[in-house]
Amino acid sequence: MANEWQHLWLDVSCDDVEATEDALLTAGALSVTLEELGDEPVFEPLAGEVPLWAMTRVVGLFDGDMSPAAIVDTLHRQLPPMLLDRLGHSAFDEDDWVRRTQADFQAMPVGERLMIEPAWEESSAPPERLPIRLDPGLAFGTGKHETTRLCLEWLETQGVSGQHWLDAGCGSGILAIAALCLGAEHLDGMDIDPQALTASRGNAELNDIDPASFSLYLAKDYPADRLVDGLLANILAPTLIELAPTLSTHLKPGARFALSGILSHQAEAVAAAWQAAGCQVDTFREMGDWALVAGHRPA
C-alpha cells in the first residue's frame, strides 16, 4: 500500500529559494515550506520581506501516489543541475505526520498561573493553574517560543479583570485566550492572515470562551476609533516599529502594552519608536535571545 504523503526537498542558497519554490509547485507540490539548515540566526526582515538563511531547505509536500521520478524529472527541466545535487525524499502516512507534529507540542506550565495544553490530550493542569487548551493549526503560537512565554508571563501580572484588550497579530489566539481566562471582559484579535482568525476562533471554542467576548478582525477592518485598556503584540520588530503610530492610537490614557517578537538587540529601537508615538516604556525583559518591551500610554 502506498504512503499517503511524501516530502521532497532541496538544500539551496538563499538566492535560489524562490526559483526552487516555483519549481516544486510546478512539479505538483501541494505546499512548500522553508527550514533552517544548521544553527544560523536570522535577523528580522523589513515589513513584507521573508527572512532566509544563507542555506535553506526548501521542502515540497506531495501526494503519496505521485511518482518521485516524475517529480525529479520536472525539477530537472525547471532548475540548473547544480541545484539538484542536494536533494532528499521521504514518504510517510497521515498518522505518522500527525504523531510527529503533536510530539513537538506538549503540556507546559507558564509563569505562576497558566498551563498550556494540547487539545488532543487529557488535561493535566493542577488546581492552582488555569488550563489553556490549544490546537495551533496553521497559526503561530503554542507558548513554547520565548516570545510567547514572555508575553504570557507579563500578562498574568497585569490585573486584566473586567478590561478590554487588543491582541495584534493574534495567530493561534493564545494571548487573547489567556487574557480572557485571567478575567478580561473582552478581547479583540487582529491579524493579516484569515487562517489565524480561524485558528483563534477554534481555540476559543476549545476553552469555552463566550464568542461575544472575543471579536476577530482582519487588520484592514479593525475599527480606527476603537480604544482598549491594553495591547499585546507578538510580531516582528520592524512591524512593531512601523505600526507604532497606528497601534498606539488604540490605547486609552493609562492603557498598558507589551511588545514581543523582538531580538534583544532590537529592543531599544522598538522602545524608541513607541516613545516617539507618545507612549512610556517601563519594562524590558529578556529570555534567551529574545526581548519584551512593555509600558503604558500616559494619562
Q: Coil, helix or strand for 290?
A: strand
pLDDT at 52: 55
Residue whose entry in the numeric block shows the C-alpha cell 487562517: 195
Q: With contact defined as beta carbons under 8 Å apart, do 56 and 16 qualify? A: no
- pTM higher than 0.75: no
Per-residue pLDDT of the chain (299 residues; tens, 9 = 90+): 456 788 899 999 888 989 999 999 999 998 888 877 654 444 444 444 445 567 888 999 898 889 998 999 999 999 998 888 888 888 876 554 444 555 556 778 888 888 888 877 777 778 888 888 887 654 455 556 788 889 999 999 999 999 999 999 998 899 999 999 999 999 999 998 888 898 899 999 999 999 999 999 999 999 999 999 999 999 888 899 999 999 999 999 999 999 998 989 999 999 999 999 999 999 999 988 889 999 999 98
DSSP 102: H
pLDDT at 143: 57
Sort strands 55-63 and 5-13 into parallel, antiparallel or unpaired: antiparallel
DSSP 264: G
Domains of the chain: 5-101 (3.30.70), 140-296 (3.40.50.150)
Q: With contact defined as beta carbons under 8 Å apart, do 63 and 30 qualify? A: yes
Q: How many CB atoms lie within 10 A of CB 15?
A: 9
